[in-house]
Amino acid sequence: MKIKILIIFIYPFILVAQSGMEIASMLDKKPAPDNLVNNIRMILTNSKGKSRINTMMSKSINKNKKQIIWFLEPKDDRGVSFLKIEHDDRDDAMRMWLPAFKKVRRISAKKKGDAFMGSDLSFEDLSSRELINNNYSRLEDGMLDNQSCYVLETIPKKVARSSYSKHISWIDKNTINLLKEHSYNKRGELKKEKDFHYDIISNYQILKRVFVKDVLDQHTTEVIFSEIKIDVELNENLFHEKNLKRIPRE
Amino acid sequence: MNRNKSQSPIREWFISQALNHSKRTIIISILLTLVIGSGLRFLVMDDDMMKMLPNDLDSKITWDAIQDEFGSTDIIFIAFGFEGQSIFSPKALADLWALSEELNASPSIKDVANISTGTRIDQIDGFMEIDDLQPSQNLSQKDINKIIKYLNKNPNQKNQLVSRNGEYFLTIVQPYDEIGLDQFRNAVVTIGDATLEGYEIHYGGTAYITGSIPKLIREDIQTLVKVGMLIMVAILLLNLRNLSAVGMVMMVIISSLIAMMGFMGWAYRLTGSDKFLFAILNTSMPIILLTIANSDGVHVITKFFREMRKEKDVRNAVASSMESLLTPIFLTSLTTIAAFLTMTSSPLEPLVGYGVSISVGIAWAWLMSSLMLPSVISLKKWDKQSKAIIDASPFEKLISRIATIVIKYPKYVFGIGVLLVFIGFSGLYKITVDVNLASFFKPGTEIRDSMDFMDDEMSGTLDLRVRVEGDVKDPELLQKIESLQGFIKEKDNVVVTYSIADIVKQMHRTVMNDNINYEFIPEEREKVNNLFTMYSMSGDPGDFSSLVDYDYSSALITALSTVISTEDVFSFVEETKKYIDDHFNTYGKVDVTGVIVVLRDMVVLVIQSSILSILISLVLIGVIAGLFFNRLLWGLLAVVPLTGAVVLNFGFMGHFSITLNHITAILSSIIIGVGVDFAIHFISQFRNLSNYTAPEKLSYDVIQDVGYPIILDAGSNMGFGALLFSAFIPVQYIGGLMVFAMLSTSLGTLILLASLTELLKYHLVENEN
């Protein structure tokens, strides 16, 4: 009798409780603007407190499938630009314009673990995770900054060719925003701690600030997004090599 | 039998403690020794040359700045392979991969650099791409050929990863800053030996040598103390002919040893100062204290036996022995301490700790000889008919002969002494200084073999580091760096140089379709910057951290060289500095450091230290003796045999090509510190006897009275000979030289000082009375 009562009480919870895969899927399907224009300020700080600051202008379409970035600061890097076009069936295409050499060069995307511009964000960190390439487990829920969170463990499958062994992510139950993530290297050591902050713009939860700390190297990267414009009209032709050579006025 | 009380209240207190509270005195002495000795557990053995240098030395400041900016340069090299066979095989590369994995898993190890962890810069579709030099653990011959081709194209990189004949793979291992070098060394060797079983393995590098030395020091001390004790016991037994008496002297010696080592441990624990680290040069400390403590004990025991012959009563014999010896033992301890404390004026850090710690040991020996030893003697039931008490020993008979000769021919004896000193003097200008660690170890020893291997097969064991401040992306500065590297590379012993300029050249060539004609520094700053930006798209941000700082405001040039003679070190450093002054005057600060510069600085510091130590200790001892005996002339006479002994010893070093270094630099302090005892005992007894002995018989009686303990003391100090069994060549030299020094100081007293006092006896007696 007691067992029966217990089953009756927990049955509704079993029905509504999401699995790890479901949470990952919710995160993946979260509404996002198609087109995005913003300025990016990236502050890199090493273990001795020395910093490098880069400012860039970014434009993207198709939910970031095509992105073009122009470097504005420091003065040395002004004019360098970067074009990324993601493909579902093959490796992403990446091009870089080097004004001093007056050449456009292709960047290989085969080393996903490589750092982007000397930051703590690798190309893998910047790309979205393919759901089928990972195993997801839901861990015990937790609280983060007074927000009730799903805690999700992601273990990349071999096919993902990941540089990580696992990720633990804290996802806000209300907004389905990823608030925090711990990423572990292949040796199982905590490698990176990532914090995410959002703003609501036109009903979208838009990333405003990312802070990444490489725990092992004691190096940090802070990325601040500003002058964010959503779903502005962007011509598909913009995402072409020839447009890398000139910084747009706006 | 009632004894006569001492006229001095302090002496009376000491005698009373020994005779009336013997057991209490012994128990307190043992307890105090145990308390101070408990510091032994805090003793740290470390022979890092950098820690020996004063903190305000330019090369040390630059060294520390480089460690801070570019990471630790304390590295260990592992080389494995087989002589006469190419190392490029699938198995060797798979084992190299496994070695890197194991090393990277160690908590002591920060970074591992070899082919398996290295990167290659290639040009693919016009873009500079950074990839792994060894893509996976198991490679096909085709993959291996690709690696060989790449390394042949980049000889600078090849020189750092493969031996000259391609027979050994090289791995460079860097520790975390906070890890002790011995712990780091043990971790690397354990992993290396386990992973590379079956290969010929060689370890090298400053961290390996420095990390190996603590174990060698521990083993060395154990051997030296055992041999030293054995020699000392044998000589004492032969002369004292009484086992209990020898045991009592050994008790003083052991207590002092425990106190000195314990104090050093406490001092390091409480101050954290590198001055109190136990380095190679400290290995001579136990033996030196052993002989000094022995000297105090021998004087008390022999005097007691002589008094027993007269008094026939233990308490009275102890009282009269102590009445006559308390002052000279105190004075000899004081002057010996003064001599050793002059080491605190040395600019070399461990010499300061050496001087302070051994002074504590000497003070303890004085305390034990003045309180515990007479207490133990007074408790023992002595056989008044024993040979030890009744019969004169072999040394006593020898003394009578010396006394007769000195009295009969004082001028000749003095003349011979002076002639010997002049012979010594002629050797002084032949002294050479060599502080190179390679010369501390015999060929065939593990460390020397490792250094020779590094010199013969790899890039050498010495380094020169040039830190250049300025805009590192400025092509003009990069070209200056390149030309400085070219200048340094022209030196005979330099095997390889590398800097960020090499990387810029390599990147430029790569991005210009891998055309060798573009292997130069681009002329535009923008191009240099674009190269770095391109690299950052696929390279690791830490790849250049050992070459350039985070904000490209300072760069590091490294040159590796095989062993260079001390003379060449001076010209190498001076020429490099001149080149920098001539070519970098419009740029920011340029500093030079590295083991090569440190060796030059050490040479200067060793010479400074030796001269300072000799001058200060001679003046100090002259002043102390002059003040204590109330007469400047006695102060001057006290330093005569010491000066002669120091000149003879250093002259001996010059004649026999024994080099001066930071280990043999302590010789002067030891010679003066130990030798002064003989002069003090002689002068003290001369003044004593001058009160009731005719001047004609005075010198003879003084030699008869103090000659025996002096010769016995010098004889038992042949324990210094134990240092000949050291694993470290300079410590062996100290052993040989100290045996010679004991002869020169004791005979200096009994020949030079005795003949001088004989020649000046009327003048000296007149003034004393």
Q: Give B421-443 pLDDT, tens digit per residue.
A: 888 888 888 888 877 777 788 88
Residue B35 banded pLDDT, cuts 50, 70, 90: very high
Judged by CB atoms closer than 8 Å, whether chains meet at B527 and A101 is answered as: yes
Beta bridge partners of B169: B80, B162
* Domain residue ranges in chain A: 19-245
Q: Which residues of B touch A119 (CB under 8 A)?
A: 541
The answer, yes or no, to whether residue B145 has pLDDT greater than 80, is: yes
**pLDDT computed for residue A8 by the predictor:** 42
A186 in contact with B, Cβ within 8 Å:
no
**The pair of three-digit structure tokens given for residue B12, joined into one six-digit string:** 């009376």
The SS3 assignment for A222 reads: strand
Q: What is the pLDDT of residues B389-424, one digit of tens each?
A: 666 666 666 777 777 787 788 888 888 888 888 888
Between the two ends of chain A, the Cα-to-Cα distance in Å is: 71
B176 in contact with A, Cβ within 8 Å:
no
Q: What is the pLDDT of residues B570-611, one digit of tens each?
A: 889 899 999 998 888 777 788 888 888 888 888 888 888 888
B64 in contact with A, Cβ within 8 Å:
no
**The pair of three-digit structure tokens given for residue B13, joined into one six-digit string:** 């207190």
Beta bridge partners of B127: B124
Amino acid letter, residue B454: M
Judged by CB atoms closer than 8 Å, whether chains meet at B541 and A50 is answered as: no
| Percent of the residues in chain B that have a pLDDT greater than 70, as a whole number | 96
**pLDDT computed for residue B355 by the predictor:** 92
**pLDDT computed for residue A170 by the predictor:** 94
Query: Which of B34, B503, B55, B445 lies closest to B273, judged by CA?
Result: B55
Residues found in chain A? 250
**What does pTM read for this prediction?**
0.74
**pLDDT computed for residue A250 by the predictor:** 63
| Percent of the residues in chain B that have a pLDDT greater than 90, as a whole number | 22
3-state secondary structure B56-97: CCHHHHHHHHHHHHHCCCCCEEEEEECCCCCCCCHHHHHHHH
Q: Which residues of A touch B131 (CB under 8 A)?
A: 111
How far apart are the C-alpha atoms of B362 and B510, rounded to whole Å? 68
How far apart are the C-alpha atoms of B455 and B492, rounded to whole Å? 13
**pLDDT computed for residue A43 by the predictor:** 93
The answer, yes or no, to whether residue B181 has pLDDT greater than 60, is: yes
B474 in contact with A, Cβ within 8 Å:
no
Q: Which residues of A touch B129 (CB under 8 A)?
A: 107-108
Q: How many angstroms from the chain centroid is the CA of residue B1?
A: 53
**pLDDT computed for residue B669 by the predictor:** 76
Per-residue pLDDT, averaged over B641-657, amounts to 87
**pLDDT computed for residue B683 by the predictor:** 87
Mean pLDDT in runs of 10 for chain A (250 residues)? Answer: 42 56 86 88 88 90 87 86 81 81 73 70 77 88 89 87 88 90 88 92 88 89 91 84 80
Q: Which residues of A touch B105 (CB under 8 A)?
A: 187
Q: What is the pLDDT of residues B528-545, one digit of tens each?
A: 988 888 787 767 767 788
**pLDDT computed for residue A7 by the predictor:** 41
- Other C-beta atoms within 10 Å of B387: how many? 11
The answer, yes or no, to whether residue B474 has pLDDT greater than 80, is: yes
The answer, yes or no, to whether residue B189 has pLDDT greater than 90, is: yes
Judged by CB atoms closer than 8 Å, whether chains meet at A111 and B131 is answered as: yes
The CATH class of the A19-245 domain is mainly beta
Query: Which of B407, B294, B497, B360 lies closest to B33, judged by CA?
Result: B360
The answer, yes or no, to whether residue B272 has pLDDT greater than 50, is: yes
Please name each of the domains of chain B with its CATH number: 9-49+211-437+600-768 (1.20.1640.10), 76-204 (no CATH)
Scanning B422-441 for CB atoms below 8 A from A yields none
Mean pLDDT of chain B: 85
**pLDDT computed for residue B477 by the predictor:** 92
**pLDDT computed for residue B80 by the predictor:** 92
> Which region among B240-254, B536-550, B629-643 has the lowest average model confidence (pLDDT)?
B536-550
How far apart are the C-alpha atoms of B306 and B702, rounded to whole Å? 14
The answer, yes or no, to whether residue B275 has pLDDT greater than 60, is: yes
Judged by CB atoms closer than 8 Å, whether chains meet at A119 and B127 is answered as: no
A119 in contact with B, Cβ within 8 Å:
yes
Mean pLDDT comparison of B120-124, B183-187, B256-260, highest-scoring range: B256-260
Q: Which residues of A touch B534 (CB under 8 A)?
A: 96, 98, 105
The answer, yes or no, to whether residue B483 has pLDDT greater than 70, is: yes
**pLDDT computed for residue B476 by the predictor:** 92
**pLDDT computed for residue A112 by the predictor:** 52
Beta bridge partners of B265: none
Query: Which of A85, A123, A114, A108 lies closest to B122, judged by CA?
Result: A108
